[in-house]
Structure 1
Amino acid sequence: MTPESYEGRRVTVAGLGVSGVSAARALAGRGAHVTVVDGGEGQAQRARAAELEPQGVTVRLGDGDTLPEGTELVVTSPGWRPDSPLFAAAAAAGVEVYCDVELAWRLRGPDAAPWLAVTGTNGKTTTVRMLAAILTAAGLRTAAVGNIGTPILEAVLADRPYDVLAVELSSYQLHWSPSVRPHSAAVLNLAPDHLDWHGSLAAYAADKGRIYEGNRVACVYNTADPATEELVRGADVEEGCRAIGFTLGTPAPSQLGVVEDILVDRAFVEHRHKNAQELAELTDIAPGTGQPAPHTVANALAAAALARAFGVEPAAVRDGLRAFRPDPHRIEHIADIDGVGYVDDSKATNTHATEASLAAYEHIVWIAGGLAKGATFDDLVAGAARRLRGAVLIGAERHLIREALARHAPDVPVVDLDRTDTGAMSEAVREAARLARPGDTVLLAPACASMDMFVNYNQRGDAFAAAVRELAEEDR
């Protein structure tokens, strides 16, 4: 394909975050007249504006709602809501809107690296990083990009080309990327999330399903989540593209799965109706971090499926999984104190992620709460009730979890911390330690967003880890 020309076009970039800055630079470097708009006026925005202005970029702070006169295209940061006044003005003026991912796709050259893409409610980042590790082990030049790591525009426009890209795509990015067509793609799971942004579960699922459009080799889905297979069925793919399932059980033909603690492939092998290929053992998944949780195994299978769709040999799957190390705040074991394990899964910002986290441990003192984002917690609590030794609740909407616990786990002791300052985490850890017995796990899996108390889930996890280490020091 020939890269689209932006020479002389008047482009408005919505948002002055990482993706907005990346888009503004790329467009200015290709001769566009770029104006960046952002509703903020803080120090960070002013610093980024100062970096862009020498490149001929106009930055307008304090007003993200007004469409600059003469705009021919809007490139948005993914998180901007579809009902923003800026986009209403663009629609009224007949101006196209898309995001930096779509821009990157349109700027690809004829020899551009194929995209192996991943989405889902949970597990995207882990899966993409596993995939990048496997591709690297296969000797391919790759990068984890998109909603993770290197900005996708930097990777697409790099002077030294990549062989293949491992691309994490959020529902926001997919919403604003109408023409992206990956080589192969996976939807890991679907559960209600970001409904305030998308408006409904159906709209959220439809945006997730865009990732399968135009796939050439494989549409990878989760056999335990029928909604993902339904998205495959509804996708318009290229002739010969196959539906490939992954399962924690014994795989059927055209699936990857687990047989006696071994990851096996019955999809990308000859005579798959009677043959299977060993890929790795469960102990190969991030060795040294303990027995992998079920959802981590599922992520590894999805990553392996995409790598195999790209032609990667089995040994590279094993070597890549061995080399992979989880990011902080994702089922991260912090310490053992008096026979109690302390685990940070601050990344579990919704009920689906928290359900998977709770399922990984037998006896749990659960630290939860924050901003619920419209979620309900009855199903989550009912499913985990037998595992709960106690619960410590923090955050602005903790009452929703407390009420669900009262309905479905009335015998579980609950500590309700009536404070939303960052110091509440230290008290939460101490209360959890008081409730825990040897053999239990104190698990931070909030099921909620963090912004009521913390800058982001990373800061929340850091606060948990610091409180645990403080407790460990006192125990010595």
Structure 2
Amino acid sequence: MRIFELANRRVAIWGWGKEGRAVYQAIRAELPDLNLTVICNDVEAQIVEAMNDPRVVCNVHVDAEVLSHYDVVFKSPGISPYQPMVEAAAAHGTVFSSGTCLWFAEHAGDKTLCVTGTKGKSTSTALLAHLLRAAGKQVGLVGNIGMPLADMIDARADFWAIELSSFQTREVAASGVRPHLALVTNVIAEHLDWHGSEAVYVRDKLALLTDAKPHIAVLNAADAKLAKLTLPSSQVHWYNHPEGWHLRGNEIYRGDEKIIDVSKMPLPGTHNRGNLCGVLLALEALGFDARDLALSALAFKPLPHRLQSMGIKDGIEYVNDSISTTPDTARAALNVYAGREVAIILGGHDRGLDWYPFADHLLQDAPVAIVTMGAIGPRINAIIRRACEAKGVRLDSATDLADAVAKARAALQGEGVVLMSPGAPSFGMYKDYVERGKDFARIAGFDPDRVGEIPGQGVH
């Protein structure tokens, strides 16, 4: 659905975060006289009312009856479509859309390069934009990485590098516009509170491939769920496969041809370096000389809050991996620092994910200490306690992040790594992972403002 099609319809914007504000601006720019309702909380209502837009009203109450009043509701990504009131309103005839849907409808025909995956999608998207810019192209770096698509409704670019969360992948299919290329790094259970089950999460994540039907699909052959896919409507390319782009130790190969040594690249973790193979394969599928562009990856600046080393104080290195929201990402973070003295901070909001594989991993690669916090802290503690006792790992709980940092620091006795890789969302403790990462920097004695925004967003 395009913006002009909203004329004379009853339209609501549900949520007043970044995406809600971006959708409002996009609609208002084209339809200045359209009456709009913003469904939000009391604090947000005060902000909306302060805009003094005579054609906007606020509603701080929402249920199926309220939603059914509108022809179209633009829903923020964090609001699950599987709530009974959403399903009831949809059955009544309300169309639920999003800023993602709106942007794709307005940009049909653009070279859209969509990137998703449970982990590695942000770095992969930023790498793709970085290398395309190195090739002299004007690229828009947008989406879940920090800049809502709706903010860029009127912008134009040679290519769009778009990060999509599992909340957004199904919206691309709903737009009716086929992406030019889709790159998927992996599919691991996450966001079960939003999706309702692992099966629905996987279905929604893979909707970018199965329903949106990209012209080109670039997939990780090492991921079991992706390896099972057949996509007859797409031209499929596989990476992390010995006949194509893959990683051998610290070196990237294309088949048997060594391309580049990535040991000195600012990309911590084998998973990040493996995903660079996917980015190079995507460039090759687009017709670029990926061998030549691979060297430009050496100048890539790593993203904040993703295994970000903030520095060393009193012999201890502090690593901010606030983006980590699953047990698998916390386990991957531990792997990066294998062989070093590590105290890891875990915990946050409990989404019901399985921590038993993490406990099993501790029997093979145990840190010096683990400090848990947040709503999920007691559950993690109970699950990993036996493994910690078997490996002599100091296990502690903390009342908040400051307490967790203090206990992790004390456990290291002046040498090692304090690694904040929570394996859980920040909800209930912080607004988002960015706020959590900045607070970690402050508590550890670093300038939180240096834990900055992701560079390169927008069109450059």
TM-score, scaled to structure 2: 0.86
Counterpart selection for 2:129 from 117, 128, 132? 132
Residue 238 of structure 2 corresponds to: 245
Aligned partner letter, 1:252: P
Instruction: Indicate conservation of the 8 Å contact 1:332/1:343, yes or no.
Output: yes
Instruction: Indicate conservation of the 8 Å contact 1:256/1:305, yes or no.
Output: yes
Report the CA distance shift for 1:442/1:67 in structure 2 as closer, same or farther (over 3 A): same
Corresponding residue SS for 1:352: helix
Corresponding residue SS for 1:303: helix
Instruction: Indicate conservation of the 8 Å contact 1:23/1:153, yes or no.
Output: yes
Q: Could you report, residue by residue, the CA deviation over 1:420-464 in whole angstroms, capped at 9, with x for unpaired residues? A: xxxx33332232222226763221111112223222222222222
Are residue 466 (structure 1) and residue 442 (structure 2) matched? yes
Q: Aligned equivalents of 2:68 and 2:106: distance in 1?
A: 25
Corresponding residue SS for 1:196: helix
Structural mapping, 1:410-449, within 5 Å: 410-411=389-390, 412-419=392-399, 424-436=400-412, 440-449=416-425
Q: Could you report, residue by residue, the CA deviation over 1:298-323 in whole angstroms, capped at 9, with x for unpaired residues? A: 23222222222222223663354233
Instruction: Indicate conservation of the 8 Å contact 2:131/2:297, yes or no.
Output: yes
Report the CA distance shift for 1:357/1:69 in structure 2 as closer, same or farther (over 3 A): closer
After the TM superposition, which of the residue ranges 4-13 and 122-131 deviates more from structure 2?
Answer: 4-13
Residue 375 of structure 1 corresponds to: 353
Instruction: Indicate conservation of the 8 Å contact 2:245/2:252, yes or no.
Output: yes
Are residue 165 (structure 1) and residue 160 (structure 2) matched? yes
Once the two structures are TM-superposed, the CA of residue 68 in structure 1 deviates from its matched residue by 5.9
Instruction: Indicate conservation of the 8 Å contact 1:376/1:400, yes or no.
Output: no
Q: Identity of counterpart residues, as a percentage?
A: 27
Once the two structures are TM-superposed, the CA of residue 215 in structure 1 deviates from its matched residue by 4.4
Aligned partner letter, 2:167: Y
Are residue 184 (structure 1) and residue 181 (structure 2) matched? yes
Instruction: Indicate conservation of the 8 Å contact 2:72/2:95, yes or no.
Output: yes
Residue 452 of structure 2 corresponds to: none
Residue 35 of structure 1 corresponds to: 36
Q: Could you report, residue by residue, the CA deviation over 1:243-267 in whole angstroms, capped at 9, with x for unpaired residues? A: x2222xxx433x311246332335x
TM-score, scaled to structure 1: 0.83
Once the two structures are TM-superposed, the CA of residue 116 in structure 1 deviates from its matched residue by 0.6
Report the CA distance shift for 1:29/1:335 in structure 2 as closer, same or farther (over 3 A): closer
Residue 196 of structure 2 corresponds to: 199
Aligned partner letter, 2:227: E
Report the CA distance shift for 1:33/1:320 in structure 2 as closer, same or farther (over 3 A): farther
Corresponding residue SS for 1:176: helix
Q: Aligned equivalents of 1:402 and 1:68: distance in 2?
A: 41
Structural mapping, 1:221-300, within 5 Å: 221-230=219-228, 232-233=229-230, 235=231, 237-238=233-234, 241-242=235-236, 244-247=237-240, 251-253=241-243, 255-259=244-248, 261-266=250-255, 276=257, 278=259, 280-283=260-263, 285-286=265-266, 292-300=268-276
After the TM superposition, which of the residue ranges 435-444 and 134-143 deviates more from structure 2?
Answer: 435-444
Structural mapping, 1:89-168, within 5 Å: 89-108=88-107, 112-158=109-155, 161-168=156-163
Counterpart selection for 1:323 from 291, 295, 299? 299
Are residue 450 (structure 1) and residue 430 (structure 2) matched? no
Count, aligned residues: 438
Report the CA distance shift for 1:381/1:128 in structure 2 as closer, same or farther (over 3 A): same
Are residue 83 (structure 1) and residue 82 (structure 2) matched? yes
Report the CA distance shift for 1:293/1:438 in structure 2 as closer, same or farther (over 3 A): farther
Once the two structures are TM-superposed, the CA of residue 13 in structure 1 deviates from its matched residue by 2.0
Aligned partner letter, 2:265: I
Structural mapping, 1:293-442, within 5 Å: 293-314=269-290, 317-362=293-338, 363=340, 364-385=342-363, 386-411=365-390, 412-419=392-399, 424-436=400-412, 440-442=416-418
Instruction: Indicate conservation of the 8 Å contact 1:10/1:71, yes or no.
Output: yes
Once the two structures are TM-superposed, the CA of residue 237 in structure 1 deviates from its matched residue by 1.9
Q: Could you report, residue by residue, the CA deviation over 1:220-241 in whole angstroms, capped at 9, with x for unpaired residues? A: 22222110222x42x4524xx1
Aligned partner letter, 1:462: K
Structural mapping, 1:22-61, within 5 Å: 22-31=22-31, 33-42=34-43, 44-51=44-51, 54=53, 57-61=55-59
What is the root-mean-square deviation in Å for CA atoms of aligned residues? 2.8
Once the two structures are TM-superposed, the CA of residue 401 in structure 1 deviates from its matched residue by 1.4
Aligned partner letter, 2:56: T
Corresponding residue SS for 1:170: coil
Aligned partner letter, 2:50: A
Corresponding residue SS for 1:29: helix
Aligned partner letter, 1:10: R
Aligned partner letter, 1:414: R
Instruction: Indicate conservation of the 8 Å contact 2:68/2:93, yes or no.
Output: no
Q: Aligned equivalents of 2:18 and 2:2: distance in 1?
A: 26
Structure 1, unmatched stretches of 5+, are 267-274, 471-476
Report the CA distance shift for 1:415/1:226 in structure 2 as closer, same or farther (over 3 A): closer
Instruction: Indicate conservation of the 8 Å contact 1:366/1:443, yes or no.
Output: yes
Instruction: Indicate conservation of the 8 Å contact 1:370/1:394, yes or no.
Output: yes
Instruction: Indicate conservation of the 8 Å contact 2:371/2:398, yes or no.
Output: no
Once the two structures are TM-superposed, the CA of residue 341 in structure 1 deviates from its matched residue by 2.5
Q: Aligned equivalents of 1:155 and 1:264: distance in 2?
A: 36
Q: Could you report, residue by residue, the CA deviation over 1:98-123 in whole angstroms, capped at 9, with x for unpaired residues? A: 221111111225xx421111111112
Once the two structures are TM-superposed, the CA of residue 27 in structure 1 deviates from its matched residue by 2.5
